[in-house]
Chains A and B, each alone.
Chain A
Amino acid sequence: MSGTATLLRVEDLVVEFPAGNGQRVHAVSGVNLELAMGEALGLVGESGCGKSSLARAVMQLPRPTSGRVTFEGLDLAALGGGSLRRLRHRFQMIFQNPASSLNPLRSVGKSIEAPLAGRERSERERLAREMMTAVGLDPQQYYGRRPFQLSGGQCQRASIARALMTEPQLLVCDEPVSSLDVSIQAQIINLLREVQRTRGLAMLFISHDLAVVRHLCDRVAVMYLGRLCEVAPVDVLFAAPRHPYTRALLEAIPRLDPGLPIATSGMLPGEPPSALHPPGGCRFRTRCPRAQGECSTTQPSMREVAPGHRIACHFPLPG
């Protein structure tokens, strides 16, 4: 990306899980991605497309089945437990359900300062209180509270504060606003946007909601059944998607306009196939309106169609 240094590189990443009877869930099947310093990349797709598995593999939680994840040139797979733990300070993660990612028995303040274990106690508390203020949680009121005494939005603020305590360079966010109400969701989106800019954080933002991604990200990667379909700068992806799946996703979003009837054209027939037995060739072909013979025999590889715009499709939409 425009000459900035690469912070994170994901190469040929594969994540598979055993599923009994000798079968395997093909959650992520050969994904390549790069993330520059300070860049926000959105990763979108429907449930079960492997986006969360990809995020967790980046975090080495657990380690991927194969492929490489390099962070600032360091191969994470090659690092032992201790060095990985030390390096983790520099890439942090926040989750969808904020209440369950905080220790219910600990005060919110103690949870926020936990990543600083080893530092002096008064110092830890001072930094935690500062961070609470920065994320819009009044430390006077909330430092001593337990997670169940906070609303969902406040818990998510606490999770963000905790993730920022070690001054990471990368924040991986897995559906961080999906369980929140619209009015609270907007507050958290604005907060993430603000911390991302002011701290120069790189962000891998996972979401099923394209409109949310549009507000937060510089680039977007669209994932379907374990593979990437399309990667493009945010404006390009929304204005002129080239992959049929991206277009179908965009068209399915209900519009805030009563004049428009609900979308029934261009809808995807059926539902995604099982990740136990993904279709051969292009994985989207079973639902794709443009699929032809070649799509079932040959897997389309990622190719660049414009600077920064990559797609994996034999018969892309006209640009």
Chain B
Amino acid sequence: MDAQPLLVVDKLCVELPHDGRSVRAVNGVSLAVERGRTLAIVGESGCGKSMLCRAIKGLLPGRARLAGRIVFGGQDLGALAPRERRTLLGRQVGIVLQDPLSSLNPVMKVGWQIAEPLQQQLGLSRAAAKARALELLTAVGIAQAAARFDSYPHQLSGGMRQRIVIAIALACEPPLLIADEPTTALDVTVQAEILGLLARLQRERNMAMILVSHNLGVVAGLAHETAVMYAGRIVEQAPTAELFRRMRMPYTQALFDANPRLDDPAREMLKAIGGQPPDLAALPAGCSFAPRCPRAEARCRQELPLLRDEGSEHRCACWFPLHREAVA
């Protein structure tokens, strides 16, 4: 393990104007990722997981206001001039988004979309960039790379397009890859292939990876560590195996229970979570999950629980966590 993690995010806040009000999409998130490790971020729509990724990659909308620190490879990104920051992020952080079609240029051959960052960021010649792009096509599991080089995105299937997006993200050999719902738009058999590909590339290249998903099943087999987000905050974080073994935060447990599983008895009722996720512009005073939480007491509605260490590298933000007895 390095003395210093590759990426350190410290008390990050992202505020967005919405309907004349200010909405905190990310609310004081701190995390760290080391080389060769995968951190999963899990949560439902609107929990801030995508905004967190965009903040790290420097892709926030212009109206967004950012507070807190992002330190990459020992370099505080906030201290860099915008141009330097863009160069650093362009080279060192690759990103894969949910919808491959909208990440690709529809009127440019996919091969050149992979070669472009090689020419621009690494200064490779056209021929060298093309040769490297062909290697990358093979690395992401595309057969007949030479023939596919000249395809346009619309000529490829969804799974193939996502492989191209992954090849673009990896072109400059970034030490950090951010994958934001990389398989959500794909069919389940294709999803399995793309997840296998990401796992292999992460291992082979000793990359750090942030994998964002709403699906606990997707992260279970892939991530070393998992953080659960709710209403802009991390509410629980632990090594993945530990998290699945002993969920502390009632929200994590509820998310897990609400998932239809293949090993449930057939035609059983699911354990749904009542109510709706909170309105980010009008967060409750205490714990954001308290209005939906079966264990909530008066304290939960008044005081915000902070993320604290519960042992075994397990952090959770809850006044009345599950399995408390096991710790004491």
B328 at the interface (CB under 8 A from A): no
Size of B's binding interface in residues, CB under 8 A: 48
* Nearest CB in chain A: distance from B254 CB, A: 7
Instruction: Judge whether A255 and B255 touch: CB under 8 Å.
Output: no
A47 at the interface (CB under 8 A from B): yes
Chain A residues numbered 246-264 whose CB sits less than 8 Å from any CB in chain B: 248-264
Instruction: Judge whether B189 and A248 touch: CB under 8 Å.
Output: yes
Q: How large is the interface on A (under 10, 10 to 19, 20 to 34, 35 or more residues)?
A: 35 or more
Question: Which of A210-218, A289-297, A298-306 lies on the face that meets chain B?
Answer: A210-218
**Contact residues in A for B273 (Cβ distance below 8 Å):** 183, 186-187
Separation of A208 and B260 alpha carbons in the complex (Å): 13
**Contact residues in A for B256 (Cβ distance below 8 Å):** 256
A100 at the interface (CB under 8 A from B): no
In the complex, residue of chain B having the shortest beta-carbon distance to the beta carbon of A209 = B260
A87 at the interface (CB under 8 A from B): no
**Contact residues in B for A250 (Cβ distance below 8 Å):** 262
* Nearest CB in chain A: distance from B261 CB, A: 6
Separation of A216 and B265 alpha carbons in the complex (Å): 11
A23 at the interface (CB under 8 A from B): no
A130 at the interface (CB under 8 A from B): no
In the complex, residue of chain A having the shortest beta-carbon distance to the beta carbon of B222 = A262
A77 at the interface (CB under 8 A from B): no
In the complex, residue of chain B having the shortest beta-carbon distance to the beta carbon of A233 = B266
**Contact residues in A for B218 (Cβ distance below 8 Å):** 254
Instruction: Judge whether A182 and B259 touch: CB under 8 Å.
Output: yes
User: Contact string, B215-238, partner A, CB cutoff 8 A, digits 1/0?
Assistant: 111101110000000000000000
A34 at the interface (CB under 8 A from B): no
In the complex, residue of chain B having the shortest beta-carbon distance to the beta carbon of A40 = B267
Separation of A261 and B203 alpha carbons in the complex (Å): 14
In the complex, residue of chain B having the shortest beta-carbon distance to the beta carbon of A177 = B260
Contact A267 B272, CB 8 Å, known A208-B188, A215-B267, A260-B220: no
* Nearest CB in chain B: distance from A211 CB, A: 4
Instruction: Judge whether B192 and A258 touch: CB under 8 Å.
Output: no
Separation of A187 and B258 alpha carbons in the complex (Å): 9
* Nearest CB in chain A: distance from B75 CB, A: 33
A46 at the interface (CB under 8 A from B): yes
In the complex, residue of chain A having the shortest beta-carbon distance to the beta carbon of B160 = A271
Separation of A260 and B189 alpha carbons in the complex (Å): 17
B107 at the interface (CB under 8 A from A): no
B159 at the interface (CB under 8 A from A): yes
A167 at the interface (CB under 8 A from B): no
A234 at the interface (CB under 8 A from B): yes
In the complex, residue of chain A having the shortest beta-carbon distance to the beta carbon of B44 = A181
Instruction: Judge whether A190 and B262 touch: CB under 8 Å.
Output: no
* Nearest CB in chain B: distance from A176 CB, A: 13
B304 at the interface (CB under 8 A from A): no
In the complex, residue of chain B having the shortest beta-carbon distance to the beta carbon of A179 = B45
Instruction: Judge whether B220 and A254 touch: CB under 8 Å.
Output: yes
Question: Which of B109-117, B127-135, B193-201 lies on the face that meets chain A?
Answer: B193-201
Separation of A214 and B220 alpha carbons in the complex (Å): 21
Residue from the list B243, B255, B268 in contact with A183, Cβ < 8 A: B255
* Beyond known contacts A190-B272, A249-B189, A271-B157: 15 more, CB 8 A cutoff: A181-B44, A182-B215, A183-B272, A186-B272, A211-B259, A214-B262, A215-B260, A215-B266, A234-B266, A238-B266, A256-B244, A258-B221, A268-B189, A271-B159, A271-B160
- Closest 5 interchain pairs by CB? A254-B217, A186-B272, A262-B221, A183-B273, A211-B260
